[in-house]
């Protein structure tokens, strides 16, 4: 029988209380900050400074007011403890900057070459550009006709920004030439359904990938934008929600599916009929966000509608387990962050403090957390390209 709403609420509350009791075993620190409105997006800004044995850090957040209030792009400040210092700091976040937005902020991402420049995409598929230093919006274009979520700046080509939308398209925009054809370089129309995510390749400046409810991962080379260079169809999925390219292996990519599974793929062996290298199962609902760790080889974080963030260790794939361990999940599940009481909407690895993450959920709560050093004593190693063959 299906649970009543009251039973579901009770179960979520019980799970949260159990999680709180176990926090001291799992985290170096964990902070929960309640927001007035839910944020669908979170990203650590890459700049920080250290003073009095504390790291001063900032994050990008947004608002989703459902038309009940003014929406904003927000900058939040926080403090993180310096590893080994033993000093306790308050990691509670404080909103230090607010920039007005015409609509909800689905995603906000900073420009790698200049973190003061931030792009957002909203529920109408519009892109807005902000300068955090001058506290102003300097650009607005509408490359899409419907809701947009995918947003990815190029680390190699300054001002190149990819966006994706429910209108089945991906658009490449030059943010440095918004007055010329609204900055549009090319519109990619090969998908046949909602395009949920788009990302630049970690090593190849001309390659990017997009994933869609049409069950396809398409890889494009912007030098020949007409047709995808590679097409992969995941017939086992009900749709693909997110993707992440490994920052350590140029051929490794992870996909997060609507059916709650995560696929690992070898880019050298992709075709419409190919099968994943490996499938990881552990979530109970659709994957919403997915990111490889920028610090630790072979570590992946995934967020889901099941209210969980799972950290995966790819070096544990295929490891033998006792029956008792197997009941807790597959061997590659490294850690499960179970503190959110709503579906996880976004996550971000801290760029200057390894094993530290931020995550946001539909429950209006921002979580900042660092994995306990007792869990990370062994440094994992990413599978080499030769092992992917």
Average pLDDT, the chain: 92
Res. 8 pLDDT band, cuts 50 70 90: low
Q: How many residues does the chain have?
A: 389
SS3 132: coil
> What's the pLDDT tens digit per position in 304-314?
999 999 999 99
Flag the least confident range among 3-12, 106-115, 140-149, 230-239: 3-12
Helix then strand then coil, % of the chain, to nearest 5: 10, 45, 45
Q: Are 169 and 191 in contact (CB under 8 A)?
A: yes
Query: Which residue in 232, 216, 217, 214 sits closest to 271, CA to CA?
Result: 232
Q: Are 150 and 198 in contact (CB under 8 A)?
A: yes
Cα–Cα distance, 209 to 302 (Å, whole number): 18
Task: Return the residue matching tokens 């992870």.
Answer: 254
> What's the pLDDT tens digit per position in 84-138?
777 778 778 999 999 999 899 999 999 999 999 999 999 999 999 999 999 999 9
- What is the predicted pLDDT for the residue at 381? 47
Q: What is the mean pLDDT of residues 250-278?
A: 94
Q: Is the pLDDT of residue 6 over 90?
A: no
Long-range contacts of 8-12 (CB under 8 A, 24+ apart): 12/307, 12/341
Res. 1 pLDDT band, cuts 50 70 90: very low
* More confident position, 318 or 134: 134
> What's the pLDDT tens digit per position in 181-234?
999 999 999 999 999 999 999 999 999 999 999 999 999 999 999 899 999 999
Please provide residue 350's backbone torsions phi and psi, each rounded to the nearest 5 degrees. -70, 125
Cα–Cα distance, 344 to 218 (Å, whole number): 25
Q: Are 332 and 280 in contact (CB under 8 A)?
A: yes
Chain centre distance of CA 313: 17
Cα–Cα distance, 136 to 98 (Å, whole number): 10
Give the whole-number percent of the chain exceeding pLDDT 90.
77
> What's the pLDDT tens digit per position in 243-258?
999 999 999 999 999 9
Helices and strands (H and E) in the chain: how many? 3, 29
Q: What is the mean pLDDT of residues 318-337?
A: 84
- What is the predicted pLDDT for the residue at 62? 98
- What is the predicted pLDDT for the residue at 208? 98
Q: Are 55 and 350 in contact (CB under 8 A)?
A: no
- What is the predicted pLDDT for the residue at 4? 57
Angle at the Cα of 137 from the Cα atoms of 209 and 179, rounded to 5 degrees: 70
Burial class (CB in 10 A: 0-12, 13-18, 19+), 94: exposed
Q: What is the mean pLDDT of residues 49-67?
A: 91
Q: How many Cβ atoms sit within 10 Å of the Cβ of residue 3? A: 10
Task: Return the residue matching tokens 């051929």.
Answer: 251
- What is the predicted pLDDT for the residue at 10? 58
């Amino acid at each position: 029988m299906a649970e009543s709403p009251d039973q579901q609420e009770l179960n979520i509350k019980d799970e949260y209380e159990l999680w709180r009791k176990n926090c001291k075993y799992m985290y170096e620190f964990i902070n929960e900050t309640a927001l007035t409105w839910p944020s669908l997006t979170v990203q650590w800004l890459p700049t920080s400074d250290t003073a009095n044995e504390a790291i001063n850090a900032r994050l990008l957040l947004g608002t989703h007011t459902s038309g009940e209030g003014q929406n904003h792009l927000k900058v939040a400040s926080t403090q993180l403890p310096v590893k080994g210092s033993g000093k306790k700091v308050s990691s509670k976040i404080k909103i230090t900057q607010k920039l007005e937005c015409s609509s909800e902020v689905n995603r906000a991402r900073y420009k790698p070459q200049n973190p003061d420049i931030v792009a957002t995409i909203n529920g109408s598929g519009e892109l807005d550009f902000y300068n955090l230093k001058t506290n102003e919006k300097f650009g607005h274009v509408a490359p899409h006709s419907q809701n947009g979520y995918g947003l990815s700046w190029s680390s190699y080509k300054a001002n190149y920004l990819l966006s994706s939308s429910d209108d089945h398209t991906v658009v490449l925009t030059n943010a440095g030439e918004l007055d010329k054809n609204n900055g549009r370089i090319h519109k990619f129309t090969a998908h046949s359904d909602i395009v949920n995510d788009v990302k630049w390749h970690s090593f190849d400046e001309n390659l990017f990938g997009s994933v869609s409810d049409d069950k396809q991962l398409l890889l494009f080379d912007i030098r020949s934008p007409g047709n995808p260079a590679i097409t992969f169809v995941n017939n086992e999925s009900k749709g693909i929600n997110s993707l992440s390219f490994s920052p350590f292996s140029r051929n490794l990519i992870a996909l997060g599916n609507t059916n709650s599974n995560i696929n690992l793929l070898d880019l050298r062996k992709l075709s419409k009929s190919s099968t994943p290298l490996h499938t990881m199962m552990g979530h109970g609902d659709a994957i919403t966000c997915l990111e490889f760790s920028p610090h630790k080889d072979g570590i992946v974080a995934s967020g889901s509608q099941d209210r969980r963030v799972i950290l995966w260790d790819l070096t544990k794939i295929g490891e033998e387990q006792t029956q008792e361990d197997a009941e807790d999940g597959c061997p590659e599940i490294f850690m499960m962050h179970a503190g959110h009481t709503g579906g996880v909407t976004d996550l971000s690895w801290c760029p200057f403090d390894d094993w530290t993450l931020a995550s946001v959920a539909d429950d209006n709560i921002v979580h900042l957390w660092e994995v306990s050093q007792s869990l990370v004593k062994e440094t994992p190693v990413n599978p080499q390209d030769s092992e992917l063959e």
